[in-house]
Copies of this chain bind each other. A is one copy, B any other.
Amino acid sequence: MEIACRAIATSSACRFTFFNTHVAPQAMTLDTLDTPAALIDLPRMERNIALMQERMNALGVRFRPHVKTSKSIDVVRAQIAAGAQGVTVSTLKEAEAFFDAGVRDILYAVGIAPSKLPRALALRKKGCDLKLLVDNTTTAAALARFGQEHGETFEVYIEVDTDGHRSGLAPEQDALLEVGRVLHENGVRVGGVMTHAGASYELHTPDSLAACAEQERAGCVRAAERLRGAGIPCDVVSVGSTPTALSARKLDGVTEVRAGVYVFFDLVMYNVGVCTLDDIALSVLTTVIGHQPEKGWAIVDAGWMAMSRDRGTSAQTMDFGYGLPCLLDGTPLPGYRMTGANQEHGILCAVKLDPSENTASSDIETRLPIGTRLRILPNHACATSAQFPEYHVVLASGDVAVWDRFYGW
Q: Are A299 and B383 in contact (CB under 8 A)?
A: no
A377-409 CB contacts (< 8 Å) to partner B: 380, 382-383, 386-390, 407-409
Is B36 in contact with A139, judged by CB distance below 8 angstroms? Answer: no
In the complex formed, the residue of B with least CB distance to A369 is B138
Closest beta carbon of chain B to A169's beta carbon, Å:
10
Which B-chain residue is minimally distant from A175 (CB atoms)?
B293
Interfacial chain B residues near A327, Cβ < 8 Å:
none
Is B383's CB under 8 angstroms from A304's CB?
yes
Interface residues of A in 178-232 (CB under 8 A from B): 198
| Interface status of A150 (Cβ within 8 A of chain B) | no
- Asked whether A309 lies within 8 Å of B383 as measured between CB atoms, the reply is yes
A112 located at the interface, meaning its Cβ lies under 8 Å from any Cβ of chain B in the complex:
yes
* CB of A335 within 8 Å of the partner chain: no
A292 interfacial contact with B, CB 8 Å: yes
The residue of chain B having its C-beta at the shortest distance from the C-beta of A390 within the complex is: B408
Which residue on B lies nearest to A340, using beta carbons?
B166
Instruction: Report chain B residues within 8 Å CB of A316.
Output: none
Question: Within 8 Å of chain B (Cβ to Cβ): is A135?
Answer: yes
- A119 at the binding interface (Cβ < 8 Å): yes
Indicate whether A10 reaches chain B with its CB closer than 8 angstroms. no
Q: Across the interface, name the chain B residue whose C-beta is closest to A406.
A: B389
Q: Within 8 Å CB of A371, what residues of B?
A: 113-115, 138, 142
In the assembled complex, A269 has its CB within 8 A of some CB on chain B: no
User: Which of A77-85, A251-259, A342-350 lies at the interface?
Assistant: A342-350
Instruction: Decide yes or no: A91 and B138 within 8 Å by CB, A111-B290, A113-B289, A387-B407 being known contacts.
Output: no
A110: chain B residues at CB < 8 Å are 289, 301, 344-345
Determine if A124 is an interface residue (Cβ-Cβ < 8 Å).
no
Q: Give the distance to chain B from A384, nearest Cβ to Cβ, in Å.
A: 10
Contact (Cβ within 8 A) B166 A299: yes
Chain B residues within an 8 Å CB radius of A37:
409
Q: Are A115 and B342 in contact (CB under 8 A)?
A: no
B287 lies within 8 A of A139 (CB)? no
B115 touching A32, Cβ below 8 Å: yes
CB 8 Å contact bits of A156-177 with B (1 = contact, 0 = none) = 0000010000110000000000
Chain A residues in the interface with B (C-beta under 8 A): 32, 34-37, 68, 90-91, 110-116, 119, 135-136, 138-139, 142, 161, 166-167, 198, 287-292, 299, 301, 304-306, 308-311, 342-345, 347, 369-371, 380, 382-383, 386-390, 407-409
By Cβ-Cβ distance, the 7 closest A-B pairs, closest first, are A309-B309, A389-B408, A111-B289, A138-B370, A113-B287, A309-B310, A90-B344
